[in-house]
Structure 1
Amino acid sequence: MEETQSKNKYRALFLKPWEKGNKNIVRDFVYGCWCNGKRIGGMQMPPINEIYCATHARSEVVDAVFIDAQTSWDRFEEIESSGYASIDCLILMCSTQSFRSDLRILEKAKSLKPAIKTVLFGSHPTFMPEYALAGAVDFLVRKEPEETIRVLLDALARNEDTSRINGTGYRDKDGKVVLNANREFCDMDVLPIPDRTLLPENADYFNPVVHRLPYTTIQTSRGCPGRCIFCTSPEFYGKKYRARSAENVLKELREIKKLGYREVFFRDETFTALKKRNAEICQAMINEKLNLSWIANGRVDMIDKEMMALMKKAGCHMLKFGVETSSDELLKTYRKGTTSEQARACFKAARELGIETHAHLVFGGPGESWNTINTTIKFVKEIKPSTASFGILTPYPGTELFAMVASMNPSIQDGSDSNMDNLHTEGFYSKEVSGMTGDELSLAVKRAYRKFYLRPSYVLGKLLRIRSFEQLVILVISGLNILSFSISGKK
């Protein structure tokens, strides 16, 4: 890898870390909100944000490379065993839940090569910069990262002043935290198409809801029209919802097709928010016979049956929705902007059209009780999603929910006692949020998985829909993961 690049360029390594023992961590949203383990059926996701950053950072003076240590551990070990000899700068995307483990990687890199520069970007550096600027961290990048990282690497490569770069933070010679002004958000059409050749060759990103392999991810918008009290996306990406043009998206889809991918996962927070643009994209996919199957995230109040039908014709086979709860009172508290009846109608429409659905549910919000939990479990069985995930509501830094908890109990500090081992399955300041204990909510999550997935009718339905040996293998792997979690509650 390194030998094929110019040795005169400044070498930046974008690393997706991996700690042995954690088989799958879906750490692809730059604003955090990651998940992992058996609870999500063993799902893995090809990274997109690091690829965006690395592609944009390349220049006449900067060479950017990427390693996904989860799928290319040998490449990472080779770099580390060399003492990062060929690397000038190490860059990690970091969430609150990964911060402590990410910091250990940077500390080791500094011990092997003290001169190496280290950079963190993502949710934790954005919302908790004073904590994130620990001893082994030279720079942090806040909010939207691509242009800030490009400018920072260019300045480092040219040995120029880095102290006034917008969007960055660092400690000065006296140890004082310096946070420069935020950088303006970009026009997404200006960003280059991510160079997917940076991804590891023949990487097996297992995903139980994907129909055709190989698959890749794509991002066509940033931000969310919603203002949920538990989500970091609006604060991270700005209050204005931004999107790429239809033609710009189609340009990338054509390239994806040429690279040999057969399926695409749209990782937009709310892909369905842009009806007119999406209709253009879908119609072009149909007219050009792109033959890409795909999955997208949506809101139950921002899609109708007519749009679903067009999306299905264009290759969409699954829609994923944040249902959250069946309680309209809780939905109001969350400021979700949706109702349980909208969810019911949305899932009914998708089912009538033959589109698979996934429902995301959370337990432990303000006003949660065993009554609302049991009603939600019953509701989910009634709306009949193809798959569902249940988790404990976690207060993330940068959200109104976190601020509420911190005002009640400052011991939460930067929130990094929450980690990838306990996220969504164990309580984290749950008593302050909902009045329910962490143990109660852990039990509720296990109960929900059992009542939804271990129904004979659900299992039989899944078996009857198998159409290939590949589908059988996927069902067995994901099913065993879900079964194990349903029994043990361990990820």
Structure 2
Amino acid sequence: MGAGKKVLFIVPNIVGDKGAATAPLPGVAYIAGAARAAGYEVKIIDMRVEPKGLFKRIELLAPDLIGISFMTMEFSHVFDFVNSLKTAFPKIPLVMGGAGGSTLGIQVLKSTTAEYVLTREGERAIVELLSGKENAQISSLIWKDERGKIIENSARPFELKLDELAFPAYDLFPMELYVDSKIPVVTSRGCPYLCTFCANKAAQGAPWRPRTPENILKEISFWHEKGFRQFHFVDDNFTLDMSRAEKICDLIINSGMKIRWDLRNGIRADKVNEALLTKMKQSGCFYFALGIESIDQEVLDKMKKNLKAEAVFEAVRIARKSGIPFGGFFIIGLLGDTYAKFLKCYDFAKHAGFSEVRFYNPIPFPSTELYAELVERNMLLSKPEEYLNMNSKTFGDDPIFATPEFSVEERKKAIKLGQKLVMQKLLAKEFGSIAGTAAALLWQVKPLQAALKGPGLQVWRTLRRYKRRKVMTVRNR
């Protein structure tokens, strides 16, 4: 391709009415930042908040390359979208990436008319692709040659020096259109743990790679100067090195910046203590979640969580003492789980003091150990192309697999009960305990869910935007 090229990154609007975009995507922002730092002209269209007029905008922008990032459970709709895009613009090369690209790999090019897939981390690969480097020489690139043969290059080593990467280009997103006015911050990548259900290893790898506290503060300061006061730390292992986490908090405190930040992606229950929570609160942390999954030791061991149930109980104790609102993540029905064990988790989630909870119906992603075992034991109830579909009417509701110890009907009951508690706590947080409980009961009626989905989301968006204006009083000063 070479110098002077223009690249357009598109975030497809796949979720539709099942959600609302709260913030820009860090992965796309990082790759866009890398391309811009290398001297290329970069544009971003986020169809989640700008769904109309895509083809007209592409005609006006006339990009030399279009990049599309997607999640694994969006793949069927994204593939259709990509093929329609190629039909409309046959001469513009398409490169696909994100978690979906890393998880599905070659399958992406087998199922679409795209020319390229970038796996793992894409900051350096996108620059090499734009520069005109030979396809065969670009690590972590999957591509089609002139005969249409699909070639998968060797994997690129994971980026170790994250401080050297350009900051994510959130300024290229339409920041005023998101539900929340917050900046996502990635303080580390990778995870050394071996949870059987987790697909993140395909995209980010096993080695944990932290940014330095000083580099993180520099990014926060950059956006603070532009008027942003709320930040969302999006990595899964912010507290893996608790001394590093404390230093980040210390730097924020000593900087004098008055910010609010949260850890909604969850942290490990055995990587938190009272001293850290105290500093988190002092530096502006207003919410964090604990990745618990289960309080049954056998279930924790089978999922290879490397976590003791006692550590969960201790983490909840000190979390309550900290005064920071906190949440808990649970997974229903992993191997070794039973309905009786679920009920114990449910009771714990209901009474332990969580301000929010999440009960997840486990999704066996094709790259995971869980998926491989379920296939080997013939336990899947549907195929990945069926259950990896976020726009399905039953997405998240129907069991994807069952075991002799935890039947389909028991799983359906557990999922329904878990979702009820999720809604009770969310609505109680927004509207108070009495009104929230009543609203949660109404939400359980399926016809009402369908009728209220649109208006309910609109009310939720309005409330969140009101809170955003209330909290974020400084913009672009």
TM-score by length of 2: 0.84
1:364 maps to: 333
RMSD: 2.9
1:247 aligns to what SS in structure 2? Answer: helix
- The one-letter code of the counterpart of 2:97 is F
**Change beyond 3 A, Cα 1:144–1:24:** same
- The answer as to 2:172 corresponding to 1:202 is no
Counterpart residue type for residue 122 of structure 1: G
Secondary structure of the residue aligned to 2:261 is strand
Question: What is the CA-CA distance between 1:49 and the residue it aligns to?
Answer: 1.0
Alignment of 1:250-329 (within 5 A): 250-296=217-263, 297-329=266-298
Corresponding position of 2:35 = 57
Q: Does the CA-based 8 Å contact 1:363-1:373 persist in structure 2? A: yes
- Matched residue of 1:257: which SS? helix
Q: 1:451 to 1:102 in 2, by over 3 A?
A: closer
Deviation at 1:197, TM superposition (A): 1.1
Q: Give the aligned partner of residue 392 of structure 1.
A: 361
Matches within 5 A, 1:367-386: 367-386=336-355
Q: Which residue of 1 aligns with 2:416?
A: 446
* Structure 1 residues 30-49: aligned runs within 5 Å: 44-49=22-27
The alpha-carbon deviation at position 432 of structure 1 amounts to 5.8
Q: Deviations over 1:95-124 (max 9, x none)?
A: 221111111221111111111101111233
Aligned counterpart for 1:330 among listed residues 284, 299, 319: 299
Report whether the alignment pairs 1:425 with 2:396.
yes
CA contact (8 A) 2:424 2:440 kept: no
The aligned amino acid for 1:445 is I
Post-superposition offset of 1:434: 6.7
Residue 363 of structure 1 deviates from its aligned partner by 0.6
Deviation sequence 1:214-250 (CA, Å, 0-9, x none): 2121101001232211012234322210010111001
Question: Is the Cα contact below 8 Å between 2:188 and 2:211 reproduced in 1?
Answer: yes
State the Cα distance separating 1:317 from its structure 2 match.
1.2
Query: C-alpha separation between the residues in 2 aligned to 1:481 and 1:286?
Result: 39
2:184 corresponds to which residue? 217
How far 1:416 sits from its partner (Å)? 5.8
How far 1:85 sits from its partner (Å)? 6.1
1:60–1:122: structure 2 CA closer, same or farther, 3 Å change rule?
Answer: closer
Name the residue aligned to 1:96: 72
Find 2:49's aligned residue among 48, 71, 77: 71
SS in 1 for 2:239: helix
CA-to-aligned-CA distance 1:280-334 (integer Å, 9 cap, x gap): 2111111111111110231110010111011101111111111112211101111
Note if contact 2:9-2:45 (Cα within 8 Å) is conserved in structure 1: yes
Distance 1:203 1:300, change over 3 A: same
Distance 1:258 1:174, change over 3 A: same
Note the alpha carbon deviations across 1:374-397, whole angstroms, 9 max, x for none.
Answer: 111111123221101112111012
State the partner residue of 2:475: none
Match of 1:436 among 403, 407, 413: 407
Which whole-Å deviations, capped at 9, do the CAs of 1:241-297 have from their partners, x for residues lacking one?
Answer: 001011100100101211211111100111111212222211111111111111023
1:344 lines up with 2:313 in the alignment? yes
Q: Per-residue deviation at 1:464?
A: 6.3
SS of 2:79's equivalent? helix
Which structure's residues are more often helix, by fraction? 2
Report the CA distance shift for 1:46/1:267 in structure 2 as closer, same or farther (over 3 A): same
Q: Which runs of 5+ in 2 are unaligned?
A: 454-477
Distance 1:220 1:75, change over 3 A: farther
SS in 1 for 2:73: coil
Alignment partner of 1:114: what SS? coil
Q: TM-score, normalised by structure 1?
A: 0.82
Query: Is the CA contact 1:447–1:486 (under 8 Å) kept in the aligned structure 2?
Result: no
Structure 1 pair 304–66 and aligned structure 2 pair: CA distance change class (3 A): same
Cα 1:25–1:338 change in 2 (3 A) is farther
SS in 1 for 2:83: helix
Matched-pair contact (CA < 8 Å) for 1:168–1:180: yes
Tell me the percent identity. Answer: 23
Larger displacement relative to structure 2 (408-417 or 239-248): 408-417
Query: CA offset at residue 341 of structure 1?
Result: 2.5
